[in-house]
Structure 1
Amino acid sequence: MIKVKVGLRPIVSNLNLPTVLKTAILPGDSIERLFIATQVGEIFYIGNGVVRTFLDIRPRIIKLGISSGGYDERGLLGLAFHPELYYNGLFYLHFSVAGTQGPGALPGAFESFKPNPCDPRTLNLRWINREIQYDHIDTVEEWILQPNGQSQKRRTLLNIRRPFLNHNGVNSLNFSPETGKLVLTTGDGGSGYDPFNLSQDDMEIAGKIIEIDVVKHTFIDNPPVVTRFNELPAPIQETLTVIAKGVRNIPGISFQRYYNQYIKYVGNVGQDLVESIFSFVHYKPIPVTELIQASLMNSEHDQEGFINFGWRGWEGAFPTSFIRGCSANPTLDEKINAYYNEAIKTSVRRIQPLISYFHKDPRPDKFGGTALTGVQSYRGNQIPGLTGSVVFTDLARNEGAGPPVRGVLAYTRVRTDCKLNDFSVIETDYNFGSQSAYYVSLGTNLDQTRLYLGVYGSMKVTDFNQGTVFEIVP
């Protein structure tokens, strides 16, 4: 693949951690503006070079970073504008709700769970006492921009109880240009290795890609807080379809128009070995009412056309492993199959990734990754080497070097022969100096001809105002 070099043009700095970057045309406006949502709950937009506040919901957001040394994966995670925003003023938010902090679903640090193939109990854990053993509550809300420019909440679409503080998705709300529905991407609920195997359970909301029909969605004041589809009131069940399962954690979904259809790109964050990007064109979403019916009758519904990314049995193209350290020689670390039976069970049903990249990669032109943070299709021609490609970001190079940290920008192309694809690192010419630069988000404009990169100077959400948003330029 050809070497591509780009520039980074700073648009705005001294921001809190930027989780969502996308553009929209507001009612009565004539230009497309860039919107930036931060993890702590602010939404800004850029107009004529001036940064303005669109909405500030910081009081509604759970207190971040307190229980985890400043690191957190909760907060304001999703922002999506209705395709008819210009006419109806509607937009959607996904965030972790203030005052809902619980003790967590398992004792110990939030990422401390590891399966032990010699101990069946660790392979078959159940999430019990969910009303009290949970970490927090996430909500999906519909808001409206009023004629006076003020925004107001209209209704709550979903209230979801989450077992751990991590894997809640990021850039988790996007509208499908194919179906016109709101797409919610939820992570597996967190910890490590999906302790309760929520991602493969058809009744669990965690670990899925869900379509919400917001036109059909009925008004229910304060819908109940749930973890499973069958706990939802019937009118809400009827508005939901499920596109995919087997998700670990997703930085959103991206759509690329290809003749008269759309290629969907989904990045699945890895556990210990690889980060993976999946692509698919055809799928058959399953109505939640059908999933519930099959569950009640103890029968398996037809899974034909239902996308399965394979987690927790598979991490990308590999059976999920955990690593036993070889202290004498780390290059000989032993990789032990974590869930052999599940890897077999899901081996035929899962789809293969478009690409996987490794946490350790000895090849000179590649990089060791940490966590996938964004996947976007690029259809512009300003950067010819990237036209028609899929661009992705990784949080930080995993090269054992000390600070300062650097994120990674890379790209791949879609293949029509279904073979595992290659990727190439994109070189950037920006000098971050001695400051760390974690690449935390990737965004695009409405016609996918511009790319935006969110960078943060720290891994901690409690280290404030260290964010910069760049445009990726030739």
Structure 2
Amino acid sequence: MIKVNLRPLVGNINLPTILKTTILPGDSTERLFIATQVGEIFYIGNGVIETFLDIRPRILELGTSAGGYDERGLLGLAFHPEFYYNGLFYLHYSVAGTQGPGAFPEPFKPNPCDPSTLNLKWTNRETQYNHIDTVEEWILQSNAQPQKRRTLLNLRRPFLNHNGVNSLNFSPETGKLILTTGDGGAGYDPFNLSQDDMEIAGKIIEIDVGINTFNDDPPVVTRFDELPVTFQETLTVIAKGVRNIPGISFQRYYNGYIKYVGNVGQDLVESIFSFVDYRPIPVTDLIQSSLMRTELALEGFINLGWRGWEGAFPTSIIDFCSADPTMSEKINAYYDEAINTSVKRLLPLTSYFHKDPRPDKFGATALTGVHPYMGNEIPDLTGSVVFTDLARNEGSPPPVRGVLAYTKFNTDCKLQDFDVIEIDYDFGSNSAFFVSLGTNLDQTRLYLGVYGSMKVADHNQGTIFEIVP
């Protein structure tokens, strides 16, 4: 078993959802940037924490429903590959003043005996939505506060949850900005947005920020075909079938890169997918084939399988047995869709389970980060893919503990096993939800964001650690 320590870097901050490093213009040292869900961005410089940007007034009021739990807020931060020279960076967040009633008044669960629950449509989208998310380009000019330059996308979202997190990352292969969007939320993807090629929800999207740079302030949309053509031209789609996703990460592999994405599960399993080759499809081609009612050649297009599949399993509804609470019945939620997507989908690299009887594993809650580790300080981890889970789900009494684990990339397309990383750190009587994982530019260091609560209203309970031998 691999054992690690945690070295505290900074404490008393709000929910640290994103951990990134970059070199500031005119600087020579790589800095760790911490973005919080409530809208602050800090960086650590010379041992002190500095404020880079505070957009709290731009972010909608968080924690007003669901008992203080929230998945909206500041969701993405990415620095342009040429940030040192051009000062450009990108934000994805939930916009203040855009709160709507939501697409449903009640929680949703499909009923295989009631076809009406399997074929729902999101109607009245202009009024029946939860909030609006925006993707913006900002610039840091010398000796000045960062300024917003333009808006790249405005997305109307049906529900409070599944908006993605760490949702903006630049591809070292293409130089394009990658946006990872969740399926819109509720549970079980009630409108099947993730498999609909026209829906922006439930996709991995590339944005070419270097073309049509006059684009600004697009209309608020939910579908690609609602965007003006100049915005459509900047977008390609890498993947669909996404439920909710903590970003995308890259690991150099010969002349290319392995891409890793995690898909947060419903009731059974959390999954990590990997791929090297892929064929992104221009949004203009998707729209053209939709208008012409023709089938696109989708060879090389990635499909993670949701909502028919939850990782390596057909998506199931769990009915608990009243006679014996330890037993439960798993009922296939979307049988026809599981068949239709069975041969089109990518198989996961590894999956880990909400309930796992094996003594050396753990019961999962939700995947919160996936990163390759290329450093030498923890030699047993070198070349591995490290991932974090929010909290052990084992019915044990508080305090809560998150989990670190790892797996290895393989080329034989078989499902890999994973191993838990033992953490030699005393959190005391405090809960420790593992909410984010980050790495430096050359992936030789790993950073962990830990929070003492899952309520956004519980302020200043966050600590950032470096994972050390």
Do the two structures share a fold, i.e. TM-score over 0.5? Answer: yes
Helix, strand or coil: the match of 2:237? Answer: strand
2:88 matched to 1:93? no
Q: 1:399 aligns with which of 394, 399, 423?
A: 394
Retained in 1: the 8 A contact 2:158–2:185? yes
CA offset at residue 300 of structure 1? 1.8
Amino acid aligned to 2:347 = Q
| Partner residue of 2:146 out of 147, 151, 164 | 151
Once the 2 structures are TM-superposed, how far is the Cα of residue 133 of structure 1 from its aligned partner?
Answer: 0.3
The answer to whether 1:102 aligns with 2:126 is no
1-structure distance, mates of 2:185, 2:19: 24
Deviation string, structure 1 residues 289-315 (Cα, Å, up to 9, x no partner): 000001101122111100000000000
Matched, 1:60 2:58: yes
Q: Within the alignment, does 1:44 sit opposite 2:42 as a pair?
A: yes
Superposed CA deviations along residues 6-35 of structure 1, whole A, max 9, x for unmatched, are: 000000000000000010001000100000
1:16-31 maps to which residues of 2 (within 5 A)?
Answer: 16-31=14-29
Aligned to 2:439: 444
Contact 1:199 1:311 in 2 (8 A): yes
Given that 1:218 and 1:236 are in contact with CA atoms closer than 8 Å, whether structure 2 keeps it comes out as no
* Aligned counterparts, 1:266-345, within 5 A: 266-345=261-340
1:330 CA displacement: 2.3
Task: Name the counterpart of 1:456.
Answer: 451
TM-score, length basis structure 1? 0.98
One-letter identity of the residue aligned with 1:372:
L
Aligned-residue offset at 1:418: 1.0
User: Structure 1 residues 205-214 or 416-425, which shifts more?
Assistant: 416-425
Partner of 2:349: 354
- The letter of the residue matching 2:66 is S
Shift of 1:148: 1.2
Q: Distance in 1 between matches of 2:380 and 2:144?
A: 40
| Displacement of 1:217 | 3.5
The aligned residue for residue 412 of structure 1 is 407
SS at match of 1:331: coil
Letter of the aligned partner of 1:246 in structure 2? G
The 1-side partners of 2:416 and 2:453 are apart by 32
RMSD of equivalent CA atoms: 0.6
CA distance in 2, matches of 1:222, 1:379: 40
1:25 alignment partner AA: I
SS, match of residue 321 in structure 2: coil
Verify: 1:432 aligned to 2:427, yes or no. Answer: yes
Answer with 141-150 or 307-316: which moved more: 141-150
Q: Is the 8 A contact 2:152 2:216 kept in 1?
A: no
SS of residue in 2 equivalent to 1:341:
helix
Instruction: Tell me, yes or no, if the aligned pair for 1:218 and 1:235 is still in contact at 8 Å.
Output: no
Cα offset, 1:149, TM superposition: 3.5
* 321-330 or 339-348, which deviates more: 321-330
CA distance in 2, matches of 1:157, 1:413: 36
1:160 corresponds to: 155
Q: Distance in 2 between matches of 1:160 and 1:51?
A: 32
Residues 64-89 of structure 1: CA distance to partner in whole angstroms, max 9, x if unpaired? 01022100000000000000000000
Cα shift at 1:329: 1.3
C-alpha displacement of 1:253: 0.3
Following superposition, the deviation at residue 219 of structure 1 comes to: 2.3
Q: Aligned residue for 1:125?
A: 120
- In structure 2, what is the Cα distance between the partners aligned to 1:173 and 1:281? 19
Instruction: Confirm or deny: 8 A CA contact 1:183 1:210 kept in the other structure.
Output: yes
Q: 1:90: Cα distance to partner?
A: 0.3
Shift of 1:202: 0.1
Counterpart of 2:68 in structure 1 is: 70
Partner SS state of residue 360, structure 1 = coil
Q: Hey, what's the Cα distance between the residues in 1 that align with 2:135 and 2:367?
A: 23
Deviation per CA, 1:304-363: give whole Å up to 9, x if none.
Answer: 100000000000000000001102212320000000000000000001000000000010
Asked if structure 2 preserves the Cα contact closer than 8 Å seen for 1:188 and 1:249, the reply is yes
Tell me the CA shift for residue 182 of structure 1. 0.1
SS of equivalent to 2:61: coil
- Structure 1: how far apart are the matches of 2:231 and 2:167? 19
Alpha-carbon distance, 1:220 to partner: 3.2
SS of structure 1 residue aligned to 2:68: coil
**Correspondence 1:239-254 to 2 at 5 A:** 239-254=234-249
The alignment's TM-score, normalised by the length of structure 2, stands at 0.99
Q: Deviations over 1:196-247 (max 9, x none)?
A: 0000000000000000000013323421000000000000000000000000
Q: Does 1:174 align with 2:169?
A: yes
Equivalent position SS for 1:54:
strand
Following the alignment from structure 1 to structure 2, what is the Cα–Cα distance between the partners of residues 330 and 261? 49
Please give the alpha-carbon distance, in whole angstroms, between the structure 2 residues aligned to 1:217 and 1:130: 28
**Alignment counterpart, residue 30 of structure 2, candidates 24, 29, 32:** 32
CA distance in 2, matches of 1:212, 1:330: 48
In structure 1, C-alpha distance between the alignment counterparts of 2:200 and 2:216, rounded to whole Å: 20
After superposition, what is the alpha-carbon deviation per residue over 1:251-299, rounded to whole angstroms, capped at 9, x for unaligned?
0000000111100000000000000000000000000000000110112
Distance in 1 of aligned mates of 2:213 and 2:292: 27
Query: Matches of 1:354 and 1:217 in 2, distance apart?
Result: 37
Tell whether the 8 Å contact from 1:21 to 1:37 is kept in structure 2 after alignment. yes
**Whole-angstrom CA distance in 2 between matches of 1:331 and 1:420:** 27
Q: Distance in 1 between matches of 2:324 and 2:369?
A: 34
CA shift digits 1:370-423 (9 cap, x unpaired): 000000010000100100000000000000001100000000000111111011
Q: CA deviation at 1:154?
A: 0.3
Contact between 1:265 and 1:280, CA under 8 Å: does it hold in 2? yes
Question: Percent identity at matched positions?
Answer: 82
CA contact (8 A) 1:42 1:56 kept: yes
